[in-house]
Amino acid sequence: MNWFEALNSEITECRRCPRLVEWREKVASEKRRAFENELYWGRPVPCFGDPQGTRLIVGLAPAAHGANRTGRMFTGDRSGDWLYRALHRAGIANQARSVSVNDGLEVCDAVIAAVCHCAPPDNKPTPSEISNCSDYLARLLRHRTWRSILCLGLISWNQVHRELGSKAPKFAHGAESQVDPMRLIASYHPSQQNTFTGRLTEEMLDAVVKAWASA
């Protein structure tokens, strides 16, 4: 078992946060009507990608009927649709769609992780839940010196800097910081709240993904 498999094995067995355990399992049991015939993952979602990758993407948490259903980061929801289209255009993903763990998706030279590995109610993990999960992110960050890290959203931006022992600059889409020799780049999260309102456009997401991929 390599380091990536060992970390993911621990993540998928985690039960540190009672509220999140109850919520993710409730969602997996009750299901959404559109997915009522599917077997939900209903567990912490592991990191996804290339174990030899040198670039990292850190999101917030799995979506209740997205990754909590499929078992793969950013798979099966509109946020993932946006992210994987951008990664495909940048030459990082081999396809633009991500609908299930068996759809053949692969990413090159990259790992996709999250601040919190369980789906939280209202997409809002509490500070204590983020703290409980922080060990997994810390170990991922410590395992190697990443060339570039794309932080999706304010919480990810702040938490990654915190785990690296660095003060986070003010968050803004396209903001950058250097934690030698790593380049950190901020993006609005591709959530429906941002994409439906036009706060984040595909052109904006493409720009930060291109900067991250070229680092």
pTM of the prediction? 0.97
Domain total in the chain: 1
CB 80 within 8 A of CB 72: no
Helices 202-213, 78-89: axis angle to 10 degrees equals 50
Q: How far apart are CA 96 and CA 81, in angstroms?
A: 7
- CATH code of the domain containing 30: 3.40.470.10
Domain extent at residue 65: 3-213
Contacts of 160 (CB under 8 A, 6+ apart): 58, 137, 141, 149, 151, 168, 184
pLDDT computed for residue 145 by the predictor:
87
pLDDT computed for residue 212 by the predictor:
98
Q: What is the pLDDT of residues 130-180, one digit of tens each?
A: 999 999 999 999 988 899 999 999 999 999 999 999 999 999 999 999 998
Q: What is the pLDDT of residues 26-80, one digit of tens each?
A: 999 999 999 999 999 999 999 999 999 999 999 999 999 999 999 999 999 999 9
